[in-house]
Amino acid sequence: MSVTDAVLYDHPGPRAKIRNRILTVVLGIAMLAVLYWIYTKFDDKNQWAGPLWKPFLEGETWTSYILPGLWGTVSAAAVAMVLSLVFGVIFAVGRLSDHWWLSIPAGAVVEFFRAVPLLLMMFFIFFGIPFLTEEPMPPFWAVVISLTLYNGSVLAEAFRAGIKSVPTGQSEAGYAIGMRKNLVMREILIPQAARAMLPVIVSQLVVLVKDTALGYIIGYTELLQDGVNTLGANFGNTVAAAIVAAIIYIVLNASLTFFAGYLERRTRRTGRAPRSPKTAPVTTGTVADGAATI
């Protein structure tokens, strides 16, 4: 254990360990009691009845409702993730620019889209843009653009904080060997900032996946619309459909978190400095004429 760990964390003694075990048991029992209470309340309303859950054992339910909705969620989230990351990097670099005519507009854009509620933005893009283009706005792109503008603005602030957290010596070393600022940003600062801010980035991407559910407001076919509303209306099992959809969201976001953890471990291994080669031991000897050499 390092000195820093010893300062930041004091290992519990025998009394503290006993107290922690007791609190763990008490909280576990309380959680089980809450779950049992929820179960009994649902049971009183016959929400665990077999006919309500039987549709989920039929393939047609999945192919007609759940899987099409899941595809809508995944496709919109995937496109919005890529665009949000690009948006975040571009506007983070723009806010850090030395030119005021670039940093001020970039900051205004980021602050504006961070302040506007996502649902309001989605409404404006879906209903307002057609007044300008005189063409109907596809629900898919209304959802994707809204998610990109909002989450991209949040990611821009995350990237900016990550770039500023990189020690100044890193950029100074790049300037010392003749690199220009854009090359220092691209080759030195952004890769390190991305690794440092990976937990924040993953958290925001998880939020993005969940926010795709707002698309049902404008008629976009996604998991909440098809897998809960439409399915529940057809089979009268809205609560059961919501539970199944929640489990799917949990699995989806857990998979994203697991992949991000794998990516972080992989980049950490590849980012390590190579082990220095072993040097040959220094020996002493004599030359033919009797002069000592080292």
**Phi, psi at residue 293, to the nearest 5°?**
-125, 150
Return mean pLDDT, the chain.
Answer: 86
> Span 26-46, mean pLDDT?
94
Across the range 241-259, mean pLDDT stands at 92
Q: What is the pLDDT of residues 157-201, one digit of tens each?
A: 999 988 888 888 888 888 888 888 888 888 888 888 888 888 888
Contact 223, 192 (CB under 8 A): no
Given this model, what pLDDT does residue 122 score? 95
User: Rounded CA gap, 51 and 213, in Å?
Assistant: 27
What pLDDT, in 10s, does the model give residues 83-138?
999 999 999 989 998 889 999 999 999 999 999 999 999 999 999 999 988 899 99
pLDDT at residue 211 in the model: 94
The pLDDT confidence band at residue 264, using thresholds 50, 70 and 90, is confident
> What angle (nearest 5°) sits at the alpha carbon of residue 84, between those of residues 132 and 99?
85
The pLDDT of residue 254: 92
Q: How far apart are the first and last CA of the chain?
A: 41
Give yes or no for a contact between 118 and 186, defined as CB atoms under 8 angstroms apart. Answer: no
Residue 271: pLDDT band (50, 70, 90) is low
The dihedrals phi and psi of 282, each to the nearest 5 degrees, come to -80, 125
pLDDT beyond 80 at 283: no
The pLDDT of residue 46 is above 80 = yes
Angle at 116 between CA 114 and CA 117, to 5 degrees: 105
Those residues whose C-beta lies under 8 Å from the C-beta of residue 285, and which sit 6 or more positions away, are 292, 293
CB atoms within 10 A of CB 241: 28
Using DSSP's 3-state secondary structure scheme, residue 73 falls into: helix
Residue 9: pLDDT band with limits 50, 70, 90: low
Percent of the chain with pLDDT over 70: 88
- Cβ atoms of 153 and 110 within 8 Å: the answer is yes
What's the pLDDT at 243?
94
Give the global pTM. 0.80
Residue ranges of domains in the chain, CATH in brackets: 59-270 (1.10.3720.10)
Confidence of residue 4 (pLDDT cuts 50, 70, 90): very low
| 3-class secondary-structure state, position 236 | coil
pLDDT score at 22: 95
The neighbour count for residue 82, using CB atoms within 10 Å, is 12
- 101-115, 141-155, 247-261, 262-276: range with lowest mean pLDDT: 262-276
Taking the C-alpha atoms of residue 142 and residue 123, their distance in angstroms, rounded to an integer, is: 8
CA separation for the pair 120, 122 (Å, rounded) = 5
Given a cut of 50, whether residue 277 has pLDDT beyond it is no
* pLDDT given at position 23: 94
Nearest to 129 by CA among 107, 146, 153, 110: 146
Residue ranges of E strands in 133-249: none
